[in-house]
Amino acid sequence: MTRYKLVKRLFFLSLILCSMVVWFLQPPAHSQTNRDTVFFIPVEQSVERGLEAFLRRGLSTAVEEGATHIVLEIDTPGGLVDAATEIAFLIRHTEVPITAYVTGKAWSAGAYIALNADQIVMAPGTSMGSAAVIDGAGNAAEDKMQSAWLATMEEAAQLNGRDPIFARAMADKNVNLPEYRAGEGELLTLTTAEAVKVGYAEAVVSDRDELLLFLGVEDAVVRDLEVSFAEKIARFVTNPVIIPILLSIGSLGLVLELYSPGFGIPGIMGLSALFLFFFGHLVAGFAGFETIILFGAGIILIIIEIFFPGFGIFGILGIVSIIGSMVLASYSTVNILLSIVIALVVTVIVSIFFFKYFGYRGPLKKLILNYATTSEQGYVSNTTRAELVGKVGYASTVLRPSGTAIFDDERLDVVSEGGFISQGKKVKIVSTQGSRIVVREFQET
């Protein structure tokens, strides 16, 4: 495949991907109503940046469409602290009354989100608590982080007049509340009955109808705000565990595409993985179209370096542009840099395996000097036989002036210094020039 066709395909594929982004981002239309409206918004699975983006849209939509009440249906094991604090900020700054309806688990960050609502209602058999902050390895976070999180939990409880000791016990093992199965060394997790008893839940209801009756809006129009397909993708690809996987697939796919001629499966997989990365962060609100433009510019610069090699300036600028676009698109500089390092390590290891066992092909040959001359290919090195100077032998053929002579049972191609030397005459090596051996007739004295 020619360079022009490869660049052309990359260009059109980029246009298709950009069109998909615009299509996915189109907001759905809803009808207006004069009746009281209650919005139900799910808070499910892990608490991460994608959920934050969804709730930002959900709360904004509810306010814009005249909701009289918002219900957050919570069923989550927890997640990222920074995402939870941003969600809490959104809840506190929403003017419409918000009720946290715990339908399953409200653990860890989920408990913190619930505490920021105007009131908490729980379904039978649900629980809330177990909110210790941990690091990425699953270990207890450092003291500074622990202290900040404890203060945050207590402040959220006090926001609506709740006793902060129970919020602290959810995050601090040193709080001793044995009557609630949270002796020293154990975290507090409240059942529905216990939550009502200590004032951490206003009521226990079995379903939405009972909830609406409790809220006094049983005749209201119920609206379910669902996670869009684009937001589902965003929640998936903005997960800190998924990001390095996407970047690894993206970088490895593009490298293998350079390895193989044409534009095939590796290139499509690589571009698709990178598209998902930027699309997810774009939907989540962390990236703008300028990051995609910067990434595209980086790809173009690298293509220029591959097909029109120079001093490496275009390649360096391309790499810097790509890394810069990823950093700008990410919500955490530390996380994205760590993900990039992981992706580079994976790419290098797999690339070494492919190049070792399958050789070098395609445009990649322009980047790597891999040609070697071997004796199997007929290459003979230009060695200097200086050690032969002074040796005496005899001409095995007539030297006219070139021929062969034998020295210590070794047959050598030689050239006479003068003219004709008959076969059988003794000759002496007087000089060597690379593989050229010069002799003259030897006269015994």
| Structure confidence at residue 363 (pLDDT) | 47
Q: Are 261 and 359 in contact (CB under 8 A)?
A: no
The ranges assigned to domains in the chain are 32-227, 232-366, 386-441
Which is higher by pLDDT, 134 or 326? 326
114 CB-near residues (< 8 Å, 6+ apart): 72, 74, 100, 102, 106, 120, 128
Confidence tier at 321 by pLDDT (50, 70, 90): confident
Do you know the residue count of the chain?
Answer: 445
Can you tell me whether residue 259 is helix, strand or coil? helix
| Structure confidence at residue 421 (pLDDT) | 87
Fold of 386-441: OB fold (Dihydrolipoamide Acetyltransferase, E2P) (2.40.50)
The span from the CA of 159 to the CA of 257, in Å, is: 56
Which residue in the block uniquely carries the two structure tokens 């609100």? 285
Asked if pLDDT for residue 2 goes beyond 60, the answer is no
Give the CA distances from residue 96 to residues 3, 62, 102, 203, 220, in Å, rounded to whole numbers and listed in that order. Answer: 58, 8, 19, 20, 15
- Per-residue pLDDT of 258-271, as tens digits, reads 666 555 677 788 88
Give the best-scoring range by mean pLDDT among 111-125, 224-238, 377-391.
111-125
Query: What's the token pair of residue 69?
Result: 């009440």
Domain over 32-227 is classified CATH 3.90.226.10: yes
Q: Average pLDDT over the chain, rounded to whole?
A: 82
Asked if pLDDT for residue 246 goes beyond 50, the answer is yes
Asked if pLDDT for residue 367 goes beyond 50, the answer is no
- Per-residue pLDDT of 50-60, as tens digits, reads 898 899 999 99
Q: Are 407 and 393 in contact (CB under 8 A)?
A: yes
CB-count burial class (<10 Å; 0-12, 13-18, 19+) for 324 = middle
Query: What's the token pair of residue 203?
Result: 């009521």
Give the CA distances from residue 283 to residues 46, 52, 55, 201, 353, in Å, rounded to whole numbers and listed in that order. Answer: 18, 11, 12, 34, 36
Asked if pLDDT for residue 39 goes beyond 50, the answer is yes
| Structure confidence at residue 354 (pLDDT) | 75
Q: Are 174 and 163 in contact (CB under 8 A)?
A: no
Which is higher by pLDDT, 335 or 139? 335
Confidence tier at 233 by pLDDT (50, 70, 90): confident
φ/ψ region of 434 (left if φ > 0, alpha if ψ in -120 to 50, else beta) reads left
- Residues facing 437 on adjacent strands: 432
- Per-residue pLDDT of 426-435, as tens digits, reads 889 888 887 7
The span from the CA of 77 to the CA of 157, in Å, is: 19
Asked if pLDDT for residue 15 goes beyond 60, the answer is no
| Structure confidence at residue 140 (pLDDT) | 64
Which residue in the block uniquely carries the two structure tokens 């700008």? 328
Which is higher by pLDDT, 284 or 27? 284
